[in-house]
Amino acid sequence: MAKPTILLAFLFLLLPALHADLAPPAVDLCSADFMSPIEVICGIASIAAILLIAFGYLLGQVTSNPKVSVWAKSEILQVLMSIASLFLLMLLVSSFCAINMSEVASIFDIPMAPNSAYSGNVYSAALGYLTNTLVFSHDALRVIRYHLEAFTVLSQISLFSCDMKSPSIDVFGVFSIPAIGWGCFFSYSGTQGQALGAYSSVMGALNLFYNSTLVAYITTLNFLFILMFIYKGFVLFLLPFAIFMRSMPYMRSFGSLLIAVALSFMIIYPLMLAVFGMMADVLLREPPNVAQFMNENTFPDNTGASALGASTAAALSSGAAYFEHIYFPNGDNVAGAIAFAAYAFIAGVFLPTSALLAAMASVNYLARIYGEDIDLSRILQMV
Amino acid sequence: MRAKALLAMFLLVSASFAAWQTTAALAMVTSLILVAIVFMIGFGFGVDALTGMAKDEVYQLIVLAVMVAALYGTDSFINALSTNTELAQGAPNLQTAALLSLNSTIDSLSTDYASVRAVDKSAGIASSQMLSCQLQSIGYTVSGCGGFSMLAGPFSLAGTIMGFALGELNAVHRLIELGLAYALTLLLPLGIVLRTFRFTRGAGGFLIAIAVSIHILLPAGIVFVDMLGESFLASSDASLYQPKDTLSGVSASCEPGDTGDGNSDAAISVYNSLRAAIKSYMYIIFVKATLGPVVAVLMMSAGIRAISSLAGAEVDVSALARVV
């Protein structure tokens, strides 16, 4: 009887720990303060779990039910495993904060400027990769948008040619009236039409790639949001909750999944992105002759007119070709815009998706370490 | 005794390699030390689960050592395969051969696209023309060139298909460039290093799979489709499909006041030119610029799945395959 009494006293001694003050999460992942609240909350969760297990053991002893006592003993090991996971995470996070990616690059003989966006610790390098990919995708969007705007404006330019040489008119095959040739002198006679055509073949392709680049841009933004969410205290919720849930009856697989998710997204996902950042020299290389189309302040469809509304001499002499020249002084670069969109897709969709897949694979693997086999195929379909 | 020999063997691994192999060996030794600590804790506290896990990890380390040795040997094999004269087709290696092929296809497709755009422009101008004749606001408007407007749909479709093919070529080109620059120097060694540790094993296996697939399977897909295509073009059945820029001289012109058959005949003539030209563009657009990249990406995604599974990481690549 003495043993259960001591346990009961121990339980009551632990209760005040549940009222510990929780500090808000620090912003910087690598600051000394970031892990402190996680440690506190995980500690509380561990204590709560231990309390519950101890209570179960007590109940088993009081009711002489060996099943409950055995359950309590096995659960203690699981709590220890969860706490070990916390220490592992702390160790890995502090290691990732200490690793400099430019030094990693030098191991693999990859040139990287020491002050580049990818040269900090693993977490800042991952952030640098997604931020620069976002800029890259946006640049691709700007180039395609410029072309789309230009071709839309150019296709709307209509031309009226006064009828100075209209064809002869055949009257019932009997005689023909010669060309009138008076055009606009007396009225409004002539030929009207699009001066530069409708650009059907270009608009279709550019619209397709505008949409795909928009998808790349939004996907990158989504991956960046996930990364920021991870950095701003993702584990703060998952890890303590997981430690507690793993000790609950029937909830172990859920708890294991949460620990696996916390570890994978804190370790694997940023690591993969930081590695892709090391390839930025090739990955984020723009196609040639596209920089001139990134000027979003140029809306030259009215630059041919003076303040009084009169056309300039250049506009008068060049006609519709004048506007074409304003938009594309050195010719358009549709092939370059399409290539840019393709590169943005690889950098903004293909590789970040690979990073997420690697994180998911890791979740599966880690969950297996904790003794649970979790089917994530449904979740992967969302990618 | 056997454990000591094994430990000595692992410590000697680092002396056997250079560059990234040293890093891999260092990672293996670190992992071995961690495994030893886990084993000691398990043994000391009598936790069978920990000792079992430690034993399993030693087995994994042996598998990894074999894998490193195999990859070290495979590096030479991969290089030999890459520089095989049949596969590389005169280029220094397989990857360069694929890049040269892609560059040539991009050039051909860009030229063809420019021709289609030129005819599209002339057809667009022609189809929009209307003739007005008025005197004192009384008159008529004739749209005698309406027949040309039927060409807008086919041109839009043709442009979309050609643009899409151009995009595919560029995407695969970029992936092969990445493979050539980083697969063997960064992704493969880093994958081996990550695979050493239990918690990063999934990611390590995935990186190894990506490295091998991008470096070998992706360019191989391009080169294989090239080889098949060239065999097809050399056959007697392929005379109609020989790639030619047959639209370069075609232009649409219309007389808007002509209400007879002249304009519709001209529009039908342009349409017939387009119809006749399709076969001469099919090889470049559908075989080289569409089938080639699709086969290459499929080979790559299948390779990632198979190799990552072999390396101990089950990765569902259906999300990547959807890129095709």
A168 and A121 in a common domain: no
As a whole number of angstroms, the distance between CA A127 and CA A117 comes to: 8
Residue B300 Cα to chain centre, angstroms: 8
Please list every residue in chain B whose beta carbon sits closer than 8 Å to the beta carbon of residue A180: 133
Question: What average pLDDT does range B92-103 have in this prediction?
Answer: 88
Q: Residue A369 corresponds to which tokens in the numbers above? A: 């370490």
Do A164 and A300 sit in the same domain of this protein? no
Residue A382's Cβ-count burial label (10 Å; 0-12, 13-18, 19+) is exposed
**What is the distance in angstroms between the Cα of B235 and the nearest Cα belonging to chain A?**
32
Residue A260 and residue A353 in one domain: yes
Q: Name every chain B residue with its beta carbon within 8 A of the beta carbon of A283.
A: 174, 178
Q: Do A200 and B120 touch (CB under 8 A)?
A: yes
In angstroms, rounded to a whole number, what is the distance separating the alpha carbons of residues A255 and A261? 10
DSSP-derived secondary structure for B113-162: HHHHHHHHHHHHHHHT-EEEEEETTEEEEE-TTGGGGGGHHHHHHHHHHH
pLDDT at A6: 58
Q: What is the pLDDT of residues A237-274, one digit of tens each?
A: 777 777 777 766 677 778 778 888 888 888 889 999 99
Q: How far is CA A276 from its chain centroid?
A: 14
Q: Are A275 and B186 in contact (CB under 8 A)?
A: yes
Give the one of A189, A338, A350 whose C-beta lies nearest to B133's C-beta.
A189
Give me the percent of chain A exceeding a pLDDT of 90. Answer: 23
Q: Is there a contact between B124 and A263 if contact means CB atoms under 8 Å apart?
A: no
Residue in A194, A341, A369 nearest the CB of B128: A194
C-beta separation of B289 from B105 below 8 A? yes
d(CA B24, CA B36): 18
Q: With contacts defined as CB-CB under 8 Å, which chain A residues touch B194?
A: 271
Give the start-end residues of each E strand in chain A: 158-162, 169-171, 175-177, 190-194
Residue A143: C-alpha distances to residues A138, A148, A292, B111 (Å): 9, 9, 8, 21
Residue A65 falls within a domain, yes or no?
no
Looking at the structure, tell me whether residues A182 and A266 fall in a common domain: no
| Residue A51 within any structural domain of the chain | no
Averaged pLDDT, B28-39: 80
Measured CA to CA, the distance from residue B319 to residue B231 in angstroms comes to 34
Q: Which amino acid is at A72?
A: A
Instruction: Report the number of distinct structural domains present in chain A.
Output: 2
Average pLDDT score over residue span A298-306:
51
Nearest C-alpha of chain B: how many angstroms from A208? 7
Domain boundary among A171, A194, A217: A194
Residues A347-366 pLDDT 10s: 999 999 889 888 888 887 77
pLDDT at B322: 62
Instruction: Examine the pLDDT at A35 and tell me if it is beyond 80.
Output: no
Pairs of residues, one from chain A and one from chain B, whose beta carbons lie less than 8 Å apart:
250
Residues 6+ apart with CB under 8 A from B80: none
Residues listed for chain B? 324
Helix (H) or strand (E) holding B234: helix B218-234
Q: Are residues A223 and A296 in the same domain?
A: yes
pLDDT bucket at B110, cuts 50 / 70 / 90 = very high
Q: Helix (H, G, I), strand (E, B), or coil: what is residue A224? A: helix
Which pTM value belongs to this model? 0.80
Residues A212 and A344 in one domain: yes
CA pair distance A10, A16, nearest whole angstrom: 11
Best residue of A357, A375, A378 to probe chain B, by most B CBs closer than 10 Å: A357
ipTM of the complex, rounded to two decimals = 0.82
Identify the domain boundary among A166, A194, A222. A194
Minimum CA–CA partner of B111 in chain A: A335
- Supply the pLDDT for residue A339: 95
- A203 → chain B, closest CA residue: B156
Residues A245 and A175 in one domain: no
Residue A310 has pLDDT above 60, yes or no: no
Q: Phi/psi at B138 (nearest 5 deg)?
A: -115, 130
For the stretch B244-268, pLDDT in tens is 877 777 788 888 777 778 888 888 8
The mean pLDDT value for A205-223 works out to 94
**Same domain flag for A207 and A102:** yes
Q: What is the mean pLDDT of chain A?
A: 78
Portion of chain A with pLDDT greater than 70, in percent: 74
pLDDT at residue A9 greater than cutoff 70:
no
For residue A75 the two structure tokens come to 């659960």
| Closest by CA position to A288, among listed A324, A340, A329, A347 | A340
**Amino acid at position A54, single letter:** A
Cα gap B288→B165, rounded to integer Å: 9
Question: b or e along A344-353 (b: 16 or more beta carbons within 10 Å of the residue's beta carbon)?
Answer: bbbbbbbbbb
A68 occurs within a structural domain: no
Residues in chain A: 383
Mutation target for A interface from B119, B131, B184, B308: give the one with most A CBs within 10 A: B131
Contact indicator for A380, B305 with CB cutoff of 8 Å: no
Per CB-CB distance under 8 Å, the chain B contacts of A158 are 128
Least confident of A152-161, B53-62, B227-236, B300-309: B53-62
Q: What pLDDT shows up at residue B18?
A: 44
A173 with A256, same domain: the answer is no
Contact A366 B320 (CB under 8 A): no
Q: What is d(CA B24, CA B192) in angstroms, rounded to the nearest whole number?
A: 6
Q: A172 and A316: one domain?
A: no
pLDDT at A185: 67
Smallest Cβ–Cβ distance between A108 and the set B162, B189, B256 belongs to B189
d(CA A283, CA A285): 6
Q: Which residue has the higher pLDDT, B205 or A172?
A: B205
> Is there a contact between A365 and A267 (Cβ–Cβ < 8 Å)?
no
pLDDT at B16 over 50: no
Q: Residue A44 domain-assigned?
A: no
The stretch B93-107 carries a mean pLDDT of 90
| A284 and A322 inside one domain | yes
CA dihedral B57, B59, B60, B62 (to 10 degrees): 130
Same domain for A227 and A99, yes or no, is: yes
Residue A19 confidence class, pLDDT cut points 50, 70, 90: very low
Contact B164 A208 (CB under 8 A): yes
Give me the phi and psi of B244, to 5 degrees please.
Answer: -145, 150
Which residues constitute the domain of residue A312? 93-157+197-380
User: Mean pLDDT lowest for which of A9-13, A156-160, A379-383, B79-83?
Assistant: A9-13
pLDDT tens, position by position, A39-88? 777 777 778 778 888 888 888 888 888 888 787 777 777 777 777 777 77
DSSP state of A19: G
* Residues β-bridged to residue A169: A177
Model pLDDT for residues A101-153, shown as the tens digit of each residue? 888 888 888 888 777 888 888 999 999 999 999 999 999 999 999 999 989 98
